[in-house]
Amino acid sequence: MTTQNLLVELFVEELPPKALKKLGDAFATQLAEQLRAQGLASAESVVTAYASPRRLGAHISQVWRKAADKAVQQKLMPVSVGLNASGQATPALLKKLQALGVDVSDPAATVAALRKAPDGKAEALFYDSLVSGATLDTGLQKALQEAIAKLPIPKVMSYQLETDCELPGWSSVHFVRPAHGLVALHGSTVVPVKVLGLTAGNSTQGHRFETAVSPVVIAHADSYAATLAQDGAVIAGFDQRRFEIVSQLARAAEKLGPSYQVLMDEDLLSEVTGLVERPNVLVCEFEEQFLDVPQECLILTMKANQKYFPLLDAQGKLTNKFLVVSNISPADASAVIGGNERVVRPRLADAKFFFDQDRKKTLESRVAGLDKVVYHNKLGTQGERVLRVRAIAKAIGQQLGGDALAAQADQAANLAKSDLVTDMVGEFPELQGIMGGYYARHDGLSEDIAFAIEDHYKPRFAGDTLPRNQVGVVVALADKLETLVGMFGIGNVPTGDKDPFALRRHALGVIRMLVENDLALSLTNIVRDAVLILDDEELQKKWSLTQHEIALAEMQRKGIGGSIGHGYAKFQIDKNTANEVSSFIYDRLAGSLREQGYSAQEVDAVLALRPQRLGNIPKRLAAVRAFAALPESQALAAANKRISNILKKAQDVDPHVSEVLLKEPAEIALYAAMKDVAPKAKAQFEAGDYTASLQTLAALRAPVDAFFDGVMVNAEEMDLRLNRQGLLKSLFDAMNRVADLSKLVSGAASI
């Protein structure tokens, strides 16, 4: 049976550009999967997705007109149930066969056609039949309906179609956008399917303005992309259109001069690719006076509002030229260029106005305004939050740099959220922190404070840079810890894939700052300090009184009489919050380390000890990996696991050892080896040479093996038993300073 290639296209009104790539891939993938499930396409069939602003399409190779017939074996029932003592069909068997569509007019012949076969301990009756394969007409109809139903549509639209029956009326259709055309070609043959009120044909529409013919007739499934490009002026493939945009952007910048470079933004590229059918890149410019505004503001307004590509100079500074991806290619593009320049000018003027107005007030004067910005209904306002972040930042700063760093961290934390009440951040929330840095410099504050304000949200995402100075690191840590402790304290914890407050991202930010800066901080201590600060009654009183004053002022403004009382509502934090937050951070750390290529055993061994200084963890992991490569590692890991099990059954074992009570040669030899090895390993550990510490301990393998071969730990004499347990406890403590070696036991080597 020969095959032909299949082409399906849905022609619709303009699709949401940010979701276009995902919609196109999902449509093609689902269509192919449904055809494969029905035997109309094979695993070797190649699927090509098409997605343009007004179409979703799929080209699938090697599609059969009819699927192969399929032999089906149907188990009916046990022989004892289906046949009576005379071997004739029982009513139950006949009813079952009728349900399967079998002709039972001649029961004897029907029974003779059945097959008996063993089924467990008894025999069963089986009905073998040949099921006709699906035709492409019915199979594609089903596949289309399934593919449309499973599309990841951001928001469904409802629209009406006039019914094609004799009775007048309208039917409702639900789809991402109104659909106006359907193409279904198997080779050059139209497949007569219907969907969304449309009947398939072989014609579609080209570019809205520049198509050469209308409609565009597709002669063959394999000529779809070429015909659309030639006759319809449309590049149907999403990736091909994106490549064309990138190429044109690069050529346009090159023509302007070697110092120009395009600010390529992946999200913007994808969005613009979803907006144009045949791209045409044009060079535009704006007045140089706008370059006095921080370039982040100008870049954001050009990208977010106008979908333009800014041009930078060789030093990475914004120029007054930018690139526009047009959907039309007129002979004279001056009108298009002029129109885009005219449109962007008011946007840039607004940004300049906001910047000029914001600088009329200092950041310090804006702090009080944060008391009117709600952060969370259970955690109060941003003003209240600033008090908490300041207290945490001072505590961390004191530990890292004494009074000087604590004072700087306090100042930066006090001003870090002030730009939230500026006009610029009100218009462009993405600039929070960044604008605070600019305004801090305008206020005459030091670069340390300005950088800290700008960087305190970092890292914002995976791969983002860390704060540039120590003040910024302290404030960023305080900000993220306040969020984690506050949200966990009121029960807002991530569940499944839901994390509305980005707590996982905050935890990873804390981890990166502690690890990459190798900060001399205890994770448990800084989390505990944050909990104590949030649970401090006097500090809470200040927060609630602030909220009390706001509420009272609001009542007075509205002319509402009475009083809201003079007490304050204490913020109740859950007593287990510190443990929950610490565990959450260690869990995120474990996942991050596994993603970096460390094995589960290595990660479990190191994190089982809950090391407090996270900056040491990479060295611990390297030491564990080197130790695991030693020939002695598995024997020592298994012994360590055995010791752990013994000590768990004992209670409060004292690691002290009395040499007088050492009786057996093996325990005497182990004690002597430990007196030689353990001090060396401890000194290496304290010097931070974890690899050498573990390798030194490898010398204990032979005496440890001999001990377990020749010594009964749980001796009947209590003094001997306690002494031997003490010996094992001292051994256990020496072996598990870097990591829990028992986690390195592989497979059956456990004991």
* Torsion over CA: 172, 176, 182, 186 (sign): negative
The whole-angstrom separation of Cα 24 and Cα 49 is 6
| Mean pLDDT score across all residues of the chain | 90
- Burial (CB count within 10 angstroms: exposed 0-12, middle 13-18, buried 19+), residue 269: middle
Where exactly does CATH 3.30.70 map onto the chain? Answer: 3-67+135-231
Please determine, for residue 556, whether its predicted confidence score (pLDDT) is greater than 70: no
Nearest residue to 386 via CA among 369, 361, 406: 369
pLDDT at site 15: 95
Average of pLDDT values for 564-574?
48
Pairing assessment for the beta strands 3-12 and 179-186 based on DSSP bridges: antiparallel
By residue count, the chain amounts to 751
Selected residue with higher pLDDT from 467 and 94: 467
Name the least confident of 170-179, 574-583, 600-609, 740-749: 740-749
Query: If pLDDT is split at 50, 70 and 90, which confidence band does 561 have?
Result: very low
How confident is the model at residue 569, as a pLDDT?
41
Whether the per-residue pLDDT at 650 is higher than 80: the answer is: no
3-67+135-231 CATH choice from 3.30.2420, 1.10.260, 3.30.420, 3.30.70: 3.30.70
Q: Distance between CA atoms of 602 and 622, rounded to whole angstroms?
A: 9
pLDDT at 386: 94
Nearest to 9 by CA among 278, 224, 279: 224
pLDDT category of residue 553 using cuts at 50, 70 and 90: low
Residue 663: what are its φ and ψ, rounded to 5°?
A: -105, -45
Question: Which DSSP state fits 208?
Answer: T
Q: What share of the chain in percent tops pLDDT 90? A: 68
Locate CATH 1.10.3210 in the chain.
374-535+571-582
Task: Say which amino acid occupies 715.
Answer: A
The pLDDT tens digits for 332-346 are 999 999 999 999 999
| The model's pTM | 0.80
Instruction: Give the per-residue pLDDT at 436.
Output: 97
- Which CATH number is 374-535+571-582 given? 1.10.3210
pLDDT confidence of residue 539? 63
According to CATH, what is the number of the domain 617-749?
1.10.730
Q: Where do you find CATH 1.10.730 in the chain?
A: 617-749
Tell me which amino acid residue 306 is: Q
Q: Give me the phi and psi of 40, to 5 degrees please.
A: -90, -15
Least confident of 134-148, 481-495, 565-579: 565-579
- Strand duo 115-119 + 70-78: pairing: unpaired
Please give the average per-residue pLDDT across 689-703, as a whole number: 92
Given pLDDT bands bounded at 50, 70 and 90, which one contains residue 640?
Answer: confident
